[in-house]
Structure 1
Amino acid sequence: MSDPMMTNILNSLRTGQNLPPEIVNYMYIHGSFLLFLDFPEGSEFGIDYKSWKTGDKFRGLKMIPPGVHFVYCSINSTPRIGFFHTFKAGEIVVKKWNKQTEDFEDQEVPEDQLPEKRQQLKNLDSCLAPYPFENYRSWYALTDFVTESTVNRIKPLKGRITAQAELVSLETAYMEKPEDNPEVSCTQTVDRDHPIRTRFVDQHGLPVMKIREGYEIRFQEIPQLRGDIPRIGIEHSDRLFRLTRSLNGDWKQLLAELQIAFVCFLIGQVFEGFEQWKRIIHLLCCCPNSFGSQHDLFISYIRVLFFQLKECPSDFFVDIVSRDNFLTTTLSMLFANIRDSAHAKDDLKKKSAQFKAYLTKQFKWDFECE
């Protein structure tokens, strides 16, 4: 972290101290503001690891640390709607709730109106909740690889992250964008010349649905197995190589995607985030030939997993993850692969053994399987 003041904040949180007045003053000047206008009273509003029930005076947040954050809301216990945003120092972001669509809308603040908007902030100060710094250290540990470019690459084109998927039937999707399938009539109207409309159904006769274009979280596609590569046991390093190559060779962006997928599921409550999280974990546990050439990746991967599992609610694994023994099975492969690898360096073997011991003690998991 390049900002010395933000480093001081993390150090203060590490020691359990309250933020000193000089840091609070600094954050009020250099932190970001989020105005969230007309949001219904008694609804859920949250940022990162903290959410509240809003009161009648709620107008948004102040003193947001620069960097990537996840903002979300819900009314009447509906699925959360959220968005990732990379807040800049001193930035003012304005959203307004639309009661008709039950969604928020962006309100751009022109450069020439910024002085006036900053003056308004002083009048709104008592209506702005301070950023929950008591959770900042945990949030930073969960997203330290995520950058603005990560967010711009993965977030839906419409900007919203929500479990309330915007689904349409496949035939409707082709009607809206017929160039994707030239064999389907562009009009799809039923008349004398076109008595039958093209239908897309599954084996049970139900309509095939897809997420409407622009609402998908744009996770990186995980390369499939190639049949032309001989394999001994479980070795998928060729897939890892192709995946990192699609990310411009930057393994940090792979871990950033792992972190965003986890946040989308744990906080955004989007199941597709959980699925992508599992795909990446499974791949990284099956690449023993890469332990030497990608040493830094696997050292950091263990650290990322440690903080993710450390921050999970106690019932998280019982209800969701451990139901099919996914983590114990895949991590058993990782620990065994590292232990037996001729490519893994000593520090990676030590980190792996420590992580295995932690999980065994914390969750009572048994990794001693074939």
Structure 2
Amino acid sequence: MSRPPKTTIALDIPAGWLVGIDLYYFTSTPTFKGIKSIPPGRTHILHWGQDETSVRNGVVFEAKEGEVLIFKWDSKKEEMLTNQTIDIAEALSIVPEQYPYMLAFDTISEEHHTAESADFATLTNHVTQSVVSSVIAPDVVVSSTTATAQEAGVLKGALQKSKEQRDKRHASPVAESDVSSSTKKDASHDIPADEMNNITPGFENLDKEPTLNFPALTPDHTWRPGSTGRERTLDSLDSSWYIENVLLKDSSSSSLLGYLQLSFLLCLVLSNYSSSITWRDYIKILCKGEELSSKNPDLYVQFFDILVHQLTVAPAEYLDGLLELSALMEPLGNLKEIIFEGQRGFNNEEDAVNPRLKRGFDKLEGELEKMGYKLQKPEED
């Protein structure tokens, strides 16, 4: 069959569910079969959940000409089947009969338009397919509970340590030949079944769970390897070396901003807490970029603009909920001091205040003040 124009999403989902694309939300009907005519060339997020209180799931994708994405809810497994888990040929064969019952993207945007939804393109202007594919594998469904690879690694390490401790605790100091089979059998009754199998309850499928592969961030450890004394202190106060030589080593400023935007998007749409941590970590690191803000003001002007747009669309309950905005008042206060007072003299002579940075930060601070937030001065060491 010839494929429909633009991007088409065939979505087989129960009626009455809360479905959305980008920042548009609507309730599925018995006749709803998907979304059609999604303009190519932009990043979108398709998301769904049983209602407003349930765990939300979603897929981030780039719309392409002639692209057909298939999603089918499996009620027995209680999971969404995607292009990689269903028979594509069979699914495509029924698209023509479903097509008339799909909602056009333009229709959705007109009928469910809000002030916030209009900002979606600006919220994702750095979220390229390259950024998305480096964080999320193709067709992988992300949910409110999906962890970052960094968090999953910490958890796996803790579980491995727990396993080793259990093994050590249950290891018998007595030689195997000295213990009768009946004694071993009786002793095994004292060991929980999960410990006998070296499996921690609730984490049997941990390795199979998808993760968000954002770059690993260490906002409290921004010094260069092997540094000591004064050099480590300077790198702790000024994250410029870390940003340039770690975060931008195999990436670009635009990609860095793309990760910042993607982490916010997953937090905003899916209520993904792990992404909110990543979002805050990026902000904390950028807020210490003293030398970099002078060398690359364009990056920081864009950074301020992104934050303003993000704060504009964030629900009020998210500010000190998922986003934990209060925790950023001191880092942002530190950045204000850098911009308005110039370099502190640790690495360079003092620089004059950059007017573009000043205007951008003034706008950001004004937005924060409208929301009732006040920047804090950094604590003196």
Mapping 1:124-135, distance limit 5 Å: 124-128=99-103, 130-131=105-106, 132-133=108-109, 134=113
CA contact (8 A) 2:276 2:322 kept: no
Alignment partner, residue 52 of structure 1 = 26
Point out the more displaced range, 278-287 or 92-101. 92-101
CA contact (8 A) 1:94 1:109 kept: no
CA contact (8 A) 1:292 1:344 kept: no
Q: Which amino acid aligns with 1:314?
A: A
1:72 to 47, 56, 59: 47
1:83 to 59, 62, 65: 59
CA contact (8 A) 2:124 2:258 kept: yes
Distance (whole Å) between structure 2 residues aligned to residue 222 and residue 318 of structure 1: 22
Distance (whole Å) between structure 1 residues aligned to residue 143 and residue 91 of structure 2: 31
In the alignment, structure 2 segments of 5+ residues that lack a partner are 169-180, 343-350
What TM-score, normalized by structure 2, do the two folds share?
A: 0.72
Alignment partner, residue 286 of structure 2 = 284
Distance (whole Å) between structure 1 residues aligned to residue 311 and residue 135 of structure 2: 23
Alignment partner, residue 365 of structure 2 = 356
Distance (whole Å) between structure 1 residues aligned to residue 267 and residue 205 of structure 2: 19
Distance (whole Å) between structure 2 residues aligned to residue 306 and residue 171 of structure 1: 38
CA contact (8 A) 2:280 2:323 kept: no
The answer to whether residue 301 in structure 2 is matched with residue 299 in structure 1 is: yes
1:99 to 75, 87, 106: 75
User: Number of residue pairs matched?
Assistant: 322
Deviating above 6 A after TM superposition, structure 1's stretches of 4 or more consecutive aligned residues are: 108-114, 166-169, 171-174, 206-210
Q: Which amino acid aligns with 1:264?
A: L
Larger Rg belongs to: 2
CA contact (8 A) 1:32 1:64 kept: yes
Q: Deviations over 1:18-52 (max 9, x none)?
A: xxxxxxxxxxx743211102x11111111111222
Q: Which amino acid aligns with 1:150?
A: V
Point out the more displaced range, 225-234 or 249-258. 225-234
Distance (whole Å) between structure 2 residues aligned to residue 319 and residue 83 of structure 1: 24
Q: Which amino acid aligns with 1:315?
A: E
- The SS at the match of 1:101 is coil
The answer to whether residue 245 in structure 2 is matched with residue 242 in structure 1 is: yes
Q: Which amino acid aligns with 2:124?
A: T
- The SS at the match of 1:231 is helix
CA contact (8 A) 1:146 1:257 kept: yes
Alignment partner, residue 329 of structure 1 = 330
Mapping 1:182-201, distance limit 5 Å: 197=196
CA contact (8 A) 2:7 2:38 kept: yes
Percent of pairs identical after alignment?
17
Q: Which amino acid aligns with 2:133?
A: N
1:159 to 124, 140, 143: 140
Q: Deviations over 1:181-229 (max 9, x none)?
A: 9xx99xxxxx979x8858698xxxx998994345111111014333433
In the alignment, structure 1 segments of 5+ residues that lack a partner are 1-28, 186-190
CA separation of 1:157 and 1:366: change in aligned 2, threshold 3 A: same
Alignment partner, residue 20 of structure 1 = none
Distance (whole Å) between structure 2 residues aligned to residue 278 and residue 72 of structure 1: 23
- The SS at the match of 2:16 is coil
Alignment partner, residue 377 of structure 2 = 369
Q: Which amino acid aligns with 2:361?
A: S
Alignment partner, residue 214 of structure 2 = 219
What's the RMSD between the two structures over aligned residues? 3.9
Alignment partner, residue 355 of structure 2 = 346
What TM-score, normalized by structure 1, do the two folds share?
A: 0.74
- Shift in Å at residue 292 of structure 1? 2.2
Point out the more displaced range, 75-84 or 125-134. 125-134
Q: Which has the higher contact order (CA 8 A, sep 6+)?
A: 2
Q: Which amino acid aligns with 1:94?
A: I
